Structure 1
Amino acid sequence: MPGALHLPLSRLRAGTALPETAQGKPVVVICRSGNRSRTATRILAARGVKAGDVAGGMTAWAGAGLPVTVDRGTSGPIA
């Protein structure tokens, strides 16, 4: 997802805060299939973060023809 920040679920479970650029803002959570992002959304909601989950994850995102990029901003695979 263009502009996405990577924050592994394991770090959220460990209590890692959102990056400063995301604090105090609504966030959209996505993973490859949608399972981990649902869990992450619940964790964030419990912390008072307004968070939404992309149903179906990156697989559904790409299937809808939406862009998939890597850190350099170029097209990338879904891992």
Structure 2
Amino acid sequence: METVDKASHSAHEAVDMIANATNQAADALGEKGNQLKTAEKQLMENCRGYVRDNPITSLGIAVAAGFLLSRLLSGR
């Protein structure tokens, strides 16, 4: 009976350690996700500002990018 109790106790400790590690990983991923969202918002604001300040240049970049994409995806 003592061996079963020891095995049960060891199994519970292992499950607790795994649960703790999983919670820590989930917290870290959540924090990184928030950091990425913040970086994305900042990048979008920077892009909007650039387009607002340089509309002609932005249009030229968009046309060039569209042309390059059409060439790459045309399959010729």
Q: Which TM bucket (shorter chain)?
A: under 0.3
| Structure ID, larger Rg | 2
**Structure with larger RCO (C-alpha < 8 A, sep 6+):** 1
Q: Which has the higher strand share?
A: 1
Higher helix content, 1 or 2: 2
